[in-house]
Amino acid sequence: MTQPFEGIRIIDATHVLAGPFAAYQLALLGADVIKVEDPGDPDQSRVSGGDRALSRNGMGTYFLTQGSNKRSVTLNLKTEAGRAIFKKLVATADILVENYRPGAFEALGLGYDELSAINPKLIYCSISAFGHGGPRGEETAYDFVIQATTGLMAMTGTRDVHPIKFGAPAVDYATGTMGAFALATALFQRERTRRGQRIDLAMNDVALTLASSHVTSYLRTGSAPKPAGNEHPHATNCVFETKDGLLALGASNIRQQRRLWTLLGHPEMAKDDNDQRHDDRAREMALLAELLRARTADEWERFLEDNHVPAARVRTLPEALKDPQLVTRGFLHKHENVEGVDGGVTVPSTPFKLAHGGGRVTSPPRPFGADTEEVLQELGYEPEAIGKLRAAAVI
């Protein structure tokens, strides 16, 4: 079946995680994505990740994670010839995504005004730390810096140990996901208006979006969120020690907490509203801590889930990846052969299913510049001209 973004061409002039992840989402859904990197300055993600040998080879696991379904082109945009080629690429494209410091592309003569004049239907997406304009517009940042800036780090941890950054680069991936949503939105709008669009996406705004309920609560009450570790205002929604490990208890709403207390043999502890739960929290915590030590975490998880009370043993990532549920979802894709990589590589794909034409991995991540000649030939460059561009370090 036809995928949603088949026939859409994206120029991916991004680096590290957020920008490449945004383009990757549309690549999984059929878009033709051409990744553009400086021949003398590869994407930082190529030399990053847990496998040092792959990083030394320019195929780091950070890059592999979101490099499938893309072609790789090297192009020196600091040269006039490089910019000319880039403009030819843009003329054939539907979308350009870039995540350099605000003003960098404008300084090269590759800003939205210049490129939309070449291609009026172009959707030009700029991803940056704080957005274009404003007192911090020209500042740069990475995921954990944005966590620090937005208060996410300050509200993470325990009462005694904080601030703590997230264990995963959640802001980067949330920004990439929001970027994909913005691109899909702009494409949908273009179908109606026949006009291109400028997207200005800020990691800072996305990070605060992740804390939306805290933002609204603080602006209403003036009470800032405090780091609470694994605890929650409702005792039945916390993490507890069991006979052999930790259990995350998720009896969040009134019905679930009433069901939980009944299952535990203490129906008298069930509350009729959240105010009562707040007021009796200390007593509930103490009783739950005592009761839940009677069984293993796995035993509690199975018993509670079978009785419609959300609960889970706290797992490590290796344990989570062994969950047979993942096989049924088709979320992970294994590349058996990747050029420049010894052995297979398994990567995430789309976290949702469509009845037809859904996301799929169709080609492995490409070595640095592996498709430069192919793409230039598509633009009409002859082999002799390509050779001269290579000799001049344009590609």
Active-site residues, by number, are: 172
Cβ partners under 8 Å of residue 138, min gap 6:
101, 102, 103
Both tokens of 318, joined, read 């290796």
Q: Identity (one letter) of the amino acid at 252?
A: S
Q: Give the 3-state secondary structure of 313-373.
A: ECCCHHHHHCCHHHHHHCCEEEECCECCECCCEEEECCCCCCCCCCCCCCCCCCCCCCCHH
Spatial strand order in the sheet of 197-202: 70-74, 32-37, 9-13, 95-98, 123-128, 197-202
In terms of DSSP bridges, do strands 332-335 and 311-313 run parallel, antiparallel, or are they unpaired? Answer: unpaired
Report the alpha-carbon distance of residue 379 to residue 370 in Å, rounded.
16
Report the alpha-carbon distance of residue 198 to residue 218 in Å, rounded.
32
Residue 340's alpha-carbon distances to 42, 314, 347, 365, in angstroms, are 15, 36, 16, 10
Cβ partners under 8 Å of residue 87, min gap 6:
110, 115, 118
Cβ partners under 8 Å of residue 50, min gap 6:
61
Q: Which of 305, 299, 261 is nearest to 280 (CA)?
A: 261
- Residue keyed to tokens 């933002």: 215
